[in-house]
Amino acid sequence: MSDLDAPVTTLKGVGEALAGKLARLHIVSVADLLFHLPLRYQDRTRITPIATLRAGHEAVVEGEVMAAEVVRGRRRSLLVRLRDGSGILSLRFFHFSPAQQQQFRPGVRLRGFGEARAGATGLELYHPEYRLLSDDAPPVEDHLTPIYPATEGLHQARLRALIEQALTCLDTAPEALPDGIPAELRRRFDLPALHHCLQVLHRPPPDTDPAPLAAGQHPCVRRLALEELLAHQLSLREVRRRIQVDGAPALPSGRSLQARFLTQLPFSLTAAQRRVLDEIAADLAREVPMLRLVQGDVGSGKTVVAAMAALSAIAGDCQAAMMAPTELLAEQHYRAFRAWFEPLGIEVAWLSGKLKGKPRLDTKAAILDGRARMVVGTHALFQGDVHFQRLGLAIIDEQHRFGVHQRLALREKGEAGGLTPHQLVMTATPIPRTLAMSAYADLDVSVIDELPPGRTPVKTVVVPDERRPEVVARIRHACAEGRQAYWVCTLIEESEALQCQAAEATWDELVETLPELAIGLVHGRLKAAEKAEVMAAFKAGELDLLIATTVIEVGVDVPNASLMIIENPERLGLSQLHQLRGRVGRGATESFCVLLYHPPLSAHSRQRLAVLRETTDGFRIAEKDLEIRGPGEMLGTRQTGLAQMKVADLERDADLLPRITPLAEALLASHPEASRPLIRRWLGEEAGRYGQV
């Protein structure tokens, strides 16, 4: 009876049909009922004098009926006047029966509950719940009334009764639900006990202020939010631990190969690049798989860092693979790596989903027999049919589309050689530090916090589209001077088809107005080869102007391009705009970014775009973006886990984040056995299994 892990059907009155409805609320076990927390509360624990009622407040009132009459306003209604000695209030009913109307005889006493609103007769309760009182008035509720998230066919009263049953199980057998956070840590981190929190949250004592409870500021809600964040962090750490129980090839050297590579570069590394490379080298030298994230603003030179790391692997007799999120980027990386590595006698292979037939078979053969030392491609690289001879390092560019599960899956790729590859993840989307610690608890983080010298910051202007002719003139002028430009067409919630159409329409228009220019068009519907051809032509300077959709967002590198127009910038996130803008300002000439908006621009959008005008610092922009859009959107799909939590809310509970890492570390140090049950409780069985090697 008191088995909290048992399915809800073990409770009285719960059959398959009801269990089905509960499942819609993610309630499967009896314990799940206990973690189904109220959305808000009603205070029915005391009777409020009418005189102290305020509009917008829910309250219980008690008084004597003075009169009841049917009134005709916009809608016919029954108006009952009630007095309690402190004041007078109206109860208003839009649906009522003659019998009901008869009940409200003058002198009758009643108790009602509802939300007070300012109505035609002063304060009114619309459709209150009510009961007529005889001499022995029943007591008021002895705790606040919880209002739960409900679902069709399963209403409050039913949910409350079920949760009451679960609470009774808990009362009679408290040991059935151990506190996930050991007592010693609760004391150290000043956290209330789990059972206390559940009791308070489901049955708050009458003197509890419901507002902080509902707003998540009460210590009992915060304890649960903290526990959930902790569970997420622990699960990421489990992923890390699980990957790192396997061995990796120690790659201690590579210095001489790296030195040969560096001498052929037309520049020397920045101090930040060298520092990050040292951190990577230290990881690679160990027989434990590296799990490292490199954050660096757009243009900070992450690709060269990736190449240097790849050379360590290659010098250590392993293969290296680099995965990019789009065909376009993969293609570009492939060209870069070929230009860099072939002079060093290193064979570079290319693999994407679009590579078919014999070329695909040949490439796979070269990857399997180890001729291809460096492999560049899209996620196709890490699919089941691709086998490496001896993969030592997997580099993932632009991590946000790559998740924990893929990270785990990568382990298998090294298996032929009995080894798990080192993992290096690169991102240009900086996220604020505390959020990063939670979101990337499975990764060590390095930051390239310096741009190569000689870059002039991009100047950004915000211009309404009435001034399009001026903008076009500016392109003409820039291209006449031998520079190149991008024109980026954006659309909301990309129907990719519409985005492509918009780009095509712009292309038609600009080809007509700028006949002297060579204009290219690139969008998601072109074949990979077509895209690559257009990009290559742009890179070679054969095209003056490139019309594009946001496919060019990440990584595209053409230093001679110094002007970018972004249409409808108000529709994109700040970080995304910053990424786009990072396509210019890569050479020594002064670069411009024109944000061409469609008026009217809301005050909010104006303020957002102003951030881009004022700063080119990706971290500041990311912080603003976080403020404006919230962490869920910002982290993107990779962290869907963090973005859809049960109790915690990254925005509301941001101040809890700094406490999570120390708590996780303390727990793993002194009570490692507590980790898995917590993960299972909050993330489910599957995540709980991460740790079972």
Chain contacts with ligand ADP (rule: CB under 6 A): 267, 269-270, 273, 296, 298-304, 428, 452, 555, 557, 559, 586
Nearer to ligand ADP, 298 or 462 (CB): 298
Smallest distance from Mg ion to CB 350, Å: 17
Token pair 């009630």 in the structure block, residue:
82
- Number of Cβ within a 10 Å radius of residue 45: 18
Positions in 171-230 near Mg ion (CB under 5 A): none
- What are the b/e assignments for 111-146, b being 16+ CB within 10 Å? bbbbbbeebeeebbbeebebeeeeeeeeeebebbbb
Token reading at 303: 């690709």
- 195, with CB counted inside 10 A (0-12, 13-18, 19+), is middle
Nearer to ligand ADP, 32 or 297 (CB): 297
Which residues lie across from 131 on neighbouring strands?
Answer: 111
Token reading at 221: 């809600």
Smallest distance from ligand ADP to CB 559, Å: 6
Nearer to ligand ADP, 37 or 306 (CB): 306
Site string for Mg ion, 299-328 (x = CB under 5 A): ---x--------------------------
Considering only the stretches 65-73, 154-162, 296-304, 347-355, report the one whose residues sit in contact with Mg ion under the rule CB under 5 A.
Answer: 296-304
Question: Which residue has the CB atom at the shortest distance from ligand ADP?
Answer: 301
Residue 421 is a binding residue for Mg ion (CB under 5 A): no
270 contact choice in Mg ion, ligand ADP, none (CB below 5 to 8 Å, kind-dependent) = ligand ADP
Token reading at 540: 């070679």
Nearer to Mg ion, 300 or 675 (CB): 300
Angle at 279 between CA 276 and CA 284, to 5 degrees: 125
Smallest distance from ligand ADP to CB 193, Å: 48
Q: Of 90, 99, 151, nearest to 118 (Cα)?
A: 90
Smallest distance from ligand ADP to CB 302, Å: 3
Nearer to ligand ADP, 235 or 258 (CB): 258
Nearer to ligand ADP, 180 or 299 (CB): 299
Nearer to Mg ion, 432 or 555 (CB): 555
Considering only the stretches 192-200, 415-423, 548-556, 588-596, report the one whose residues sit in contact with Mg ion under the rule CB under 5 A.
Answer: 548-556
Distance, in Å, from the CA atom of 531 to the CA atom of 548, rounded to the nearest integer, reads: 10
Token reading at 582: 């990072």
- Per residue, what are the HEC states of 85-132? CCCEEEEEECCCCHHHHHHCCCCCEEEEEEEEEEECCEEEEECCEEEE
Smallest distance from Mg ion to CB 582, Å: 9
Distance, in Å, from the CA atom of 620 to the CA atom of 430, rounded to the nearest integer, reads: 9
Number of residues forming the site for Mg ion (CB under 5 A): 2
Smallest distance from ligand ADP to CB 637, Å: 21
Site string for Mg ion, 628-667 (x = CB under 5 A): ----------------------------------------
298 contact choice in ligand ADP, Mg ion, none (CB below 5 to 8 Å, kind-dependent) = ligand ADP
* DSSP state for residue 451 in the 8-state scheme: P
559 contact choice in ligand ADP, Mg ion, none (CB below 5 to 8 Å, kind-dependent) = ligand ADP
Question: Using the rule CB under 5 A, which residue among 421, 555, 585, 691 binds Mg ion?
Answer: 555
Smallest distance from Mg ion to CB 554, Å: 6
Smallest distance from Mg ion to CB 555, Å: 4
Nearer to ligand ADP, 553 or 625 (CB): 553
Nearer to ligand ADP, 254 or 299 (CB): 299
Half-sphere exposure of 682 (CA within 13 A, CB side): 27
Token reading at 549: 């959709």
Considering only the stretches 279-287, 294-302, 400-408, 584-592, report the one whose residues sit in contact with Mg ion under the rule CB under 5 A.
Answer: 294-302
Whether the ω angle into residue 600 lies within 30 degrees of 0, i.e. cis, is yes
Angle at 398 between CA 354 and CA 366, to 5 degrees: 40
* DSSP state for residue 551 in the 8-state scheme: G
- Residue 164 phi/psi, 5-degree rounding, is -55, -45
Nearer to ligand ADP, 428 or 475 (CB): 428
Considering only the stretches 17-25, 279-287, 458-466, 552-560, report the one whose residues sit in contact with Mg ion under the rule CB under 5 A.
Answer: 552-560
Nearer to ligand ADP, 444 or 450 (CB): 450
- Residue 319 phi/psi, 5-degree rounding, is -100, 155
Through-space distance between the first and last CA atoms of the chain, rounded to whole angstroms: 33
575 contact choice in Mg ion, ligand ADP, none (CB below 5 to 8 Å, kind-dependent) = none
Considering only the stretches 220-228, 298-306, 527-535, 571-579, report the one whose residues sit in contact with Mg ion under the rule CB under 5 A.
Answer: 298-306
319 contact choice in ligand ADP, Mg ion, none (CB below 5 to 8 Å, kind-dependent) = none
Smallest distance from ligand ADP to CB 436, Å: 17
Distance, in Å, from the CA atom of 575 to the CA atom of 434, rounded to the nearest integer, reads: 18
Nearer to ligand ADP, 233 or 273 (CB): 273
65 contact choice in ligand ADP, Mg ion, none (CB below 5 to 8 Å, kind-dependent) = none
- What are the b/e assignments for 544-558, b being 16+ CB within 10 Å? bbbbbbbbbbbbbbb
333 contact choice in ligand ADP, Mg ion, none (CB below 5 to 8 Å, kind-dependent) = none
Smallest distance from ligand ADP to CB 537, Å: 18
Angle at 666 between CA 665 and CA 668, to 5 degrees: 65
Query: Do residues 570 and 604 make contact, with C-beta atoms less than 8 angstroms apart?
Result: no
269 contact choice in Mg ion, ligand ADP, none (CB below 5 to 8 Å, kind-dependent) = ligand ADP
Nearer to ligand ADP, 200 or 305 (CB): 305
Q: In what order do the strands lie in the sheet with 592-597?
A: 459-464, 592-597, 561-567, 484-488, 545-548, 519-522
Alpha helices in 556-596 (DSSP H): 574-581
- Number of Cβ within a 10 Å radius of residue 156: 14
Smallest distance from ligand ADP to CB 398, Å: 9
- What are the b/e assignments for 592-604, b being 16+ CB within 10 Å? bbbbbbeeebeee
* DSSP state for residue 571 in the 8-state scheme: G
Question: Between the CA atoms of 417, 249, 332 and 341, what dihedral angle is there, to the nearest 10 degrees?
Answer: -100
Nearer to ligand ADP, 146 or 296 (CB): 296
Residue numbers of the site for Mg ion (CB under 5 A)? 302, 555
